[in-house]
Amino acid sequence: MENILEIKNLCKKYDNFELKNITFNLPKGMIMGFIGENGAGKTTTIKAILDIIKSYDGEIKILGLDNRKDERKIKENIGVVLDDMFFPEILTPNDINNAMRSIYKNWDTKMFNDYLKEFSLLPNQQIKKFSKGMRKKLEIATALSHHPKLLILDEPTSGLDPVARAEVIQIFQSFIEKDDCSILLSSHITTDLEHIADYITFINNGEIVLSKTTNELLEQYAIVKCTEKEFKKINKKDYIKYLKAKYEYEVLIANKKDFKSKYDITVIDKITLDDLMVLMIKGEE
């Protein structure tokens, strides 16, 4: 499968934080959910991909192009929504349309205006009069309207109510159905990712903990709930991490079928991405 984004051994060191050999690939036509707690390295990784952070070790390729050598060609093919992104408040959507036409060769005014209508955004209203959710919708409309091949989204649905979130997610799903486009989507709303992401990449403390298909994570991984006596019978090779509660143990396993064949423990619950994050970050080995 051809990759639209390839990251190999990405390293970046700060005084109090370090990205350590970040490596993962995003295939064409796929959505990858990028998860991790605050400060784990998601935004730093994204800014390296976008060449906002200049000095780092490793290799990043987008559409087969080096993101440091082919910045102009790559820019045409990336749509971006960042959590700390903003437009000057005195501008209107019409002003943004006029500006973007001079920046992107493939800027599509009709598409942009169609999104404004769909999102109920007035073309001549100044951004300072927009709510947080309306501003986020404007950012999304702008990111989509030059026909990018890759969308890089950092908390794109933050500030949106559930109805608006569902609307935006449907737009993202429609986007990847065209021309083998892909999305790297960083979000704390993991329930959204469970429904739309083809892959999940989990970063913790500057390191990639896992990068797998969503189906594999949600179907094969599980949480075993057992007594201390039952837990002591489980071989360490058969679980990843565990948490000890007052009356039971919660044990993260990677192969539900294999575990069932070895142990007579009946309580094996389906896992959510929130469960996975909590056990991977807080659990003991």
pLDDT reported for residue 140: 92
- pLDDT tens-digit readout, 85-108: 678 999 999 999 999 999 999 999
- 131 and 267 part of one domain: no
Which residues fall within 8 angstroms of residue 258, CB to CB, at 6 or more apart? 238
Q: For residue 164, which of 126, 115, 103 has the smallest C-alpha distance?
A: 115
Percent of the chain clearing pLDDT 90 (strictly above): 73
The structure tokens 């989509």 sit at 144
- 226 and 123 part of one domain: no
Token pair belonging to 49 = 């991909």
Q: Are the C-beta atoms of 269 and 257 separated by less than 8 Å?
A: no
- pLDDT tens-digit readout, 27-67: 999 999 999 998 899 999 999 999 888 889 999 999 999 98
Confidence of residue 146 (pLDDT cuts 50, 70, 90): very high
Q: Helix (H, G, I), strand (E, B), or coil: what is residue 210?
A: strand
pTM value?
A: 0.92
Structural domain count, the chain: 2
Q: Is the pLDDT of residue 231 over 90?
A: yes
Q: Whole-angstrom Cα distance, residue 270 to residue 267?
A: 10
- pLDDT tens-digit readout, 163-183: 888 888 888 888 888 767 999
- 183 and 260 part of one domain: no
Confidence of residue 132 (pLDDT cuts 50, 70, 90): confident
- 203 and 242 part of one domain: no
Confidence of residue 25 (pLDDT cuts 50, 70, 90): very high
The structure tokens 């969503």 sit at 214
pLDDT reported for residue 83: 77
- 75 and 130 part of one domain: yes
Full domain range(s) for residue 128 = 3-212
- 179 and 244 part of one domain: no
pLDDT reported for residue 164: 84
